[in-house]
Each structure stands twice: as C-alpha cells, then as structure tokens.
Amino acid sequence: MIETNQDQKRGLSRLVDLSQYKKLNYLWLNGNQLRTIDALGENYRLSELYLQDNELVNIKGAMTRLTNLKILMLQNNQLTRLEETITEFKYMQALETLNLSKNPLAQDSEYRYYTIFHVPSLKLLDRREVKKSEREDAAKLYQQDRQALMDTIAFGRRWDAGPPQSMRDSPLKEPLNHVDNRGRMDQELPRQPSELPGRTNRPSLMQYSHFDWSMIPKVEERRLNKGRCLEDNAQIVTVRFR
C-alpha cells in the first residue's frame, strides 16, 4: 500500500508529475488551489482520491484511466458541466463513494438522478445512501425508450373492408336455378366467393397505430434545448396492411 499527501504546504496550484508512482493507492490533494488535474494518467491503481476544497473548473480527460477508484472526493470546487464531469466516471465500475456537493453542477434539478443512473456502482453520493427507489426513478427518466415499451401497450384495430352497404343490400342479378326433384341443380353454383354477386375476396384491412417514442426528446436533450418545445415533434404512426 502506497499513499502520499501533497497538501502539507497548502496552496498547490499545479500538480507535479506523479507517473513514477505507478503503485500509488491513496492520494490526498484536498485544500489547495488546483484548477485542473492533468498528471494522474499513469496512476491507474489509485483506489482513493481526495480533491475536495480546491478550485477545479474542469476534469475532462483527467480521470478516464482511473478505473480502480472506489472513493472520489470532489466537493467544494467549481465544476459546472454535469454531463462532461459524469462522463469521466463511466469506466469506474468499482466507484462506490462520490462527493460532488458544493459544486455549481450540483444545483441542477436532475443532478442526483443523472449521476446515479450513469454511475450504477455508487452506494454513497454526497454522503447520502443511494436507495433502490432512486435507481428505479433514475431508470424511468433516462431509459425513456425502454421504459415506454414496458409501460405502454399499443393495440391494433381491425377494419373489415367489405363491399359498400349499397352492394350488400342489392338483390342477386341472376336468380339461382331451381333444384329438381332428384336434389340436383341444373347448373353448378359458383365455388369462389368472387364469383358470387355482391361478394368480394379482398382480405380484411388491418390498421396498427403506435406512438413514435423516438421523436420525444430525452431528458438530456430537453436540458440542452431549453426554451424550445421539442414535444411538438411527437407523432402517432399508423400502418395499414392486408
């Protein structure tokens, strides 16, 4: 186990190169003046990283290789971009404890659900336990298409396209021949429905209607297009076939 603490002097504005410490497991950098992190690319064995109480404004590309992290503390910084920040954690399958509180991005109304959904390994977020009900609510928000399929049943409607009523009510153009006393008809009756006056052999027309969920904006799209009414793109698709 290797650990280091670089905050004794307090006031670091730039992180020194730590690539030589490839077996580093724990790193404390909290309480400094760091604005970016760009020297941890080779420290992929890190399991705990403490960066709280700094001035971080961006961590893009800084943590994608830290896939063994279990604890990550980033509270009280200046991170503003929710999607960009959470993307850094998508390969951290062991990440169980994360703190992003007291960052501007944490003021987003969907911050907690968004984070829980995109980092499914989390057990503790901002010192609060991640509950099963929160995971379910997050799934409903961000798995919109899948949930719509589970919650919605589209029914097909059968449309019997027979002949018009006027044709149905019309008498036969030619009367049937009389049957003789031997039970035999003088003329063979038509065998195909199409040969009968007033009948049609067209199959029934089936009509199937369903809601086109692909046209409904997802939560992320609504956030990026504030002020635009994207719901107007909603359509009901109708398919007819015989």
Provide the pLDDT for residue 70: 97
Instruction: Quick: pLDDT tens for 23-33.
Output: 999 999 999 99
d(CA 19, CA 15): 11
Residue 119: which pLDDT band, with cuts at 50, 70 and 90?
A: very high
Instruction: Quick: pLDDT tens for 1-15.
Output: 455 555 444 678 888
Provide the pLDDT for residue 160: 46
The model's pTM: 0.60
For residue 215, pLDDT over 80 is answered with no
d(CA 236, CA 132): 34
For residue 59, pLDDT over 60 is answered with yes
Tell me the CB-side half-sphere exposure of residue 24, using CA atoms within 13 A: 23
Buried b (16+ CB within 10 A) or exposed e, 161-194: eeeeeeeeeeeeeeeeeeeeeeeeeeeeeeeeee
Proportion of the chain above pLDDT 90, given as a percent: 43
d(CA 226, CA 221): 9
Helix (H/G/I), strand (E/B), else coil: 156? strand
